[in-house]
Chains A and B, each alone.
Chain A
Amino acid sequence: MKPLDPRLLRRARAARVFLAASVVIGVGTGLLIIAQAVLLARGVAGVVLHGEPIVSVAWALGAVVVARALLMWAQEVVAQRAAAAVKSTLRRQVLEHSLKLGPVWLSGERSSALTTLLTRGLDDLDPYFARYLPQLVLAATVPAGVIAWMATGDLIAAGTVAITLPLIPIFMVLIGWATQAHSRRRRRALSVLAHHFADVVAGLPTLKLFGRAKAQEAAVRRVTDKHRSASMSSLRLAFLSSFALELLASISVALVAVGVGLRLVEGRLGLETALMVLILAPEAYLPLRQVGMHFHASADGVAASEEVFRVLETPLPASGDRTDVPDLRTTALQLYDVTVRYPGRDEPALDGFDLDVRPGEVIALTGPSGVGKSTVLAVLLGFVQPERGVVVAGGSAADEFEPTVWRRQFAWVPQRPGLRMGTVADNVRLGRPDASDDAVRLALIGAGAGELGLDKPVGEQGQLLSGGQQRRVALARALITDAPVLLLDEPTAGLDADAEAAVVAGLRAGGRTVLMVAHRPALIAAADRTVEVGTRELVNA
């Protein structure tokens, strides 16, 4: 694990500014720590040896303490502001990039994982900026300054610290290395536990159905106990690295103190120097120990930023830049040998698919589920790039065209339409932002949803509308565009026979080219012809 991701600095200007400010504050803090030690030593030695008055030293010391508190405050303010700016930058970049990567890339688990990342996940950067990074900067600046100052007074003590200090990271790395397998096992045991609990909680209704739910309280207890003892034995090893850190730091301070004491007895050292060395010695180790203590903050923050960069560094598919897309009102559309394979799947989702779409045709795509009907639509929309084969319009391959211009030829009704919070009219207007109320009403009637008021509110994720209503709003949204080709994915699923008949009539009335995934007989009957997807025999293997 890298303590500081250079990509974070590259992507977010605020992170660079923050790091610079932290270095300045870190150097200032180091100087104040030294000043505090010097003043304390002078004060104590002055009183003990000469009975000197303390007033001026006390005032100076007070000033140093106030200055340290101010720097501390400044550090946190800077950190908060930086975290806010960096999070905002990353949020925007991640959202834009994932939308550009498209809905197929976003499908399934990924979309909910990304939502988590964009909302709560990025907040893990707060402690990373507020606690971990400043400590990292202090660990890089303070010990060096402290050791240098100690060397001016007592070379042996400075040497002790200078030798033991680098031992700490070395030991931590070695021990961390040796216990890696164990801490992995421990993490696995813990995640197994959390997962078991999640699975039980999600499955409680099912367990209750079979009269097994009441046994779960005991089952959770039993599983937890079993895994706890496994993870404790790993913890014994995993904690060794922090043990090494604590032990080395405190033993070294003890060594310095005893050594200085003995040299004092021999008269080779003054009291003031000795006290200064004693006060400074723990300060040399403190930043490093703090870094270790804030390890959690760092691990979470690094994990969050790695998640971000995994998204941002996913390359966008290559796209063309031609804008002279032929008008599909008059131009035929062909798919030749189109084969699509989704990442992580062995079987192609669509295998060697051919289709010839003449302008004005209404085509029903049929076939059992999972055969790639929706994938045909996704290919036409450019959501997924075929592994083999090509989509051709007017003698040019579709991927030569600029995607947004190409998509203007199509209006799409997905299987599960994504409606946005607002009103029914807002959602229909996604198809044509400048549409008049009358046009919206007309589109709704065409979609068999004439009964829906334009101002009817639509909740988050289409809530407040029934499944059938959502689909009809999505259909109206497609009808209101002037796209020559409609791509419909089971547009009448969830509708009763009357509503379905209205929708079918609306589709035929427009005179547009329609390519629709259809299961239901009424819809299939309304098509000019039916294309069965996935039945082509593979002759040439």
Chain B
Amino acid sequence: MNASTAELWHLVRPERRIWWRLFLALLTGVLAAGSAVALLATSAWLITAAAAQPPVLLLLVPIVAVRAFGVGRGVFRYAERLVGHDAAYRVLGETRARITGRLEKLAPPGGLSSRRKGDLLARLVLDVDAVLDLWLRVLLPIAAAAVTATATVALLAVLLPEAGAAVALAVLVACTAVPWLMAQTAARAERKIAGSRGEVAAAATEALLTAGDVVAFNAVDDILSSFDASDAKLANSERRSAWSAGLGSALLILCVGGASVAGLVLGSTADITGAVFAVLVLTPLALADVLGGIPAAAQLAIRVRASLGRVQELLDSPEPVTEPAKPLPLPDGRDLEVKLLRVGYGADDVLDGLSLDMPAGSRVVITGPSGSGKSTLAAVLLRFLEPRAGEVRMDGVDLAELDGDQVRSVVGLLTQESHVFDTSIRENLLLAKPGASDLKLWKALYRARLGVFVEKLPDGLDTMVGEHGARLSGGERQRLALARLLLADRDVLVLDEPTEHLDEETGRALLADLFAAAGDRTVVLLTHRPELVPDHVPRQLVRLT
């Protein structure tokens, strides 16, 4: 957890126009909790006063008050939940939008394998939801409890200053020492179990991911016994840290009970009426209800902080590309020239001293084993990654002098795992060219050899493709991505292992279609299977090592 509280606040801060809604949520929360306290206080007063058997008329006001507070608590609580949820969802939406804006600058995150990247993003999406918990279950309830408790203390202090002081002490401990204690014990427990928790997670992940290998080689028992060892360690440290779990809740009970006893002792000798005395003794009991949520909120706060910390950490990653302050206009020519390029992730250089000439309309096939820098080169050509030395020039203009979006308006990319959005085929295509006519869409589909397939679908262009295009086969997904790329009509096509997950025959057919459809565009094909390129295509072959 490296992010500071100020940074996290910056991440989740509500917009100015949401503030009054949050305030309204707090106000209704205070009224709800206040009604609970007032209900018990007026009841205590009513009953003790009634014991003196005064005329019933004199009791009418407290009777009405008791009933009103009884109804008020329910009504205000309902209002609080509605207003609070509305406000919290607004903050969540705002935070999500803000994060999207920041991630846009970071995408695509470099240096991570695509699997890890998927996990990271899935985690991010869940972590951002902590904003809801932060407002609904941490900040608003704690604030409402604190305000209500302070008001209660003030009331009691008016009735009997000593009693007010005693209750103030109890409230102070409940609002500060209890959360602090919970945070301390939780952090201590977490420190103790974090290691073994990670071990168990790693062991379980590995066992499941290698399940086939493990079963095929009859190693299930070995794997389970090694899992047992780390699991037992985790369970043991969780058990050992259990003793500190309930300290906060126990302390809270002591505070509230202590306040009541103090009211009893102090009030018994004071010069006050019986009814006031009863109020002094019984009102602290209602505080149990008000302050009761604090331990849970404090506990949740730790998890919320961790979640938001992870989000912040991801957002703090350095931007892979610095956009020029004053980008040059896009040049007319499309000749690309790579000069002594050095580029890499982290401490390692993936490419060093690469020079390449790619005139407009040429066909360049770049091959080499995995890890030789093919995808890295693609990232540089798309201006997703900044060269460490050397440059890439388009018609003589260094790409670093151009805005990334400018570069990508003429350079397109097809990767081995093109993202297909969970919407219709039409929407997925329109992404590349908003407002394109159906005719254009069909044309692109036919050129990508997906036209017949889509035509046969009952819903045609409106067919939903499922999450990550799950309802399409790998080949169909690639062809949809290709159609999208063709529709976007870029002058330079960078193709990064477009045949990776396809079998030989399908891959060959895709490449043949691709080169045919490319026309007079430049095609840069990065592949470790150059033999799939149709023989009739004239090309320049480059080997990376």
Contacts and interface: CB of A to CB of B under 8 A. Distances in A.
B209 interface: yes
A448 to B, nearest CB: 13
A243 interface: yes
Interface string A364-406: 0000111000000000010100000000000000000000100
Contacts of B67: 251, 254, 258
Interface in A12-68: 36, 40, 43-44, 47-49, 53-54, 57-58, 61-62, 64-66, 68
B412 A77 contact: no
Contacts of B388: none
B265 interface: yes
A322 interface: no
A217 B56 contact: no
B289 A286 contact: yes
A58 B370 contact: no
Contact of B85 (A232, A254, A258): A232
A309 interface: no
Interface in A408-427: 408, 410-412, 414, 417-421
A228 B86 contact: yes
9 contacts: A58-B265, A62-B258, A84-B238, A115-B205, A210-B431, A224-B89, A261-B63, A265-B59, A275-B278
A96 B224 contact: yes
Contacts of A271: 47-48, 51
Contacts of A200: 100
Contact of B419 (A57, A202, A265, A466): A202
A323 interface: no
A282 interface: yes
B39 A250 contact: yes
B90 A430 contact: no
Contact of B285 (A114, A265, A279): A279
Contacts of A77: 242-243, 245-246
Interface string A104-127: 001000010011001100000000
Contact of A202 (B118, B205, B528): B118
A43 B281 contact: yes
Given A201-B125, A202-B118, A98 B261 contact: no
A468 interface: yes
Given A88-B231, A264-B50, A417-B213, A201 B121 contact: yes
A257 B43 contact: yes
Nearest to A204: B107
Contacts of B96: 197, 220, 224
B104 A369 contact: no
Interface string B497-508: 000001111100
A208 B100 CA distance: 12
Contact of B97 (A198, A224, A267): A224
A243 B74 contact: yes
Nearest to A190: B89
Interface string B450-467: 000000000000000001
Nearest to B299: A127
Contacts, number: 429
B14 to A, nearest CB: 14
A7 interface: no
A273 B379 CA distance: 80
B115 interface: yes
A418 B207 CA distance: 9
Contacts of B90: 228
Interface in A509-538: 519-520
Given A92-B231, A195-B422, A250 B408 contact: no
Interface string B252-270: 0110011011001101100
B53 A265 contact: yes
Given A44-B281, A194-B129, A250-B36, 19 more contacts: A48-B274, A48-B278, A69-B251, A91-B231, A102-B212, A111-B211, A119-B205, A201-B100, A221-B97, A225-B93, A243-B78, A249-B74, A253-B70, A271-B48, A408-B218, A412-B213, A433-B222, A463-B113, A466-B369
A369 B242 CA distance: 54
B204 interface: yes
Contacts of B56: 262, 265
Given A85-B239, A195-B422, A221-B94, A414 B212 contact: yes
Given A202-B419, A258-B46, A368-B503, A44 B209 contact: no
B264 A40 contact: yes
A126 to B, nearest CB: 9
A231 interface: yes
B48 A203 contact: no
Interface in A433-464: 433, 460-461, 463
A228 B253 contact: no
Contacts of A519: 503-504
Contact of B73 (A57, A211, A246): A246
Interface stretch (A140-148, A234-242, A327-335, A352-360): A234-242
Interface stretch (B149-157, B333-341, B438-446, B468-476): B468-476
Interface of B: 35-36, 39-40, 43-44, 46-48, 50-51, 53-54, 56, 59, 62-63, 66-67, 69-75, 77-78, 81-82, 85-86, 89-90, 92-94, 96-101, 103-104, 107-108, 113, 115, 118, 121-122, 124-125, 128-129, 197, 200-202, 204-220, 222-224, 227-228, 231-232, 234-235, 238-239, 241-243, 245-247, 249-251, 253-254, 257-258, 260-261, 264-265, 267-268, 274, 277-278, 281-282, 285-286, 289, 293, 296, 369-371, 382, 384, 404-405, 408-409, 412-413, 418-419, 421-422, 431-432, 434, 467-468, 473-475, 484, 488, 502-506, 528
A243 B47 contact: no
A119 B369 CA distance: 36
B282, B468, B473 — most chain A CB neighbours (10 Å): B282
Given A84-B238, A220-B93, A224-B92, A258 B63 contact: yes
A73 to B, nearest CB: 4
A497 B434 CA distance: 44
Contacts of A249: 74
B108 to A, nearest CB: 4
Given A69-B257, A221-B97, A264-B50, A228 B89 contact: yes
Contacts of B72: 250
B97 A212 contact: no
B82 A239 contact: yes
Interface string A78-102: 0111011101100110011011101
Contact of A407 (B48, B125, B218, B249): B218
A103 B211 contact: yes
A235 B85 contact: yes
Contacts of B289: 282, 286
A74 interface: yes
Contacts of B468: 202
A47 B268 contact: yes
A541 B260 CA distance: 85
A72 interface: yes
A408 B503 CA distance: 30
A106 B239 contact: no
A278 interface: yes
A138 interface: no
B238 A80 contact: yes
Contacts of A264: 47, 50-51, 53
A58 B281 CA distance: 11
Output the residue of A88, A114, A383, A414 with the most chain B CB within 10 A.
A88
A350 B484 CA distance: 33
Nearest to B279: A44
Contacts of B50: 261-262, 264-265, 274
B412 to A, nearest CB: 7
Given A221-B93, A274-B47, A44 B250 contact: no
A212 B484 CA distance: 13
A250 B73 CA distance: 7
A183 interface: no
A198 B285 contact: no
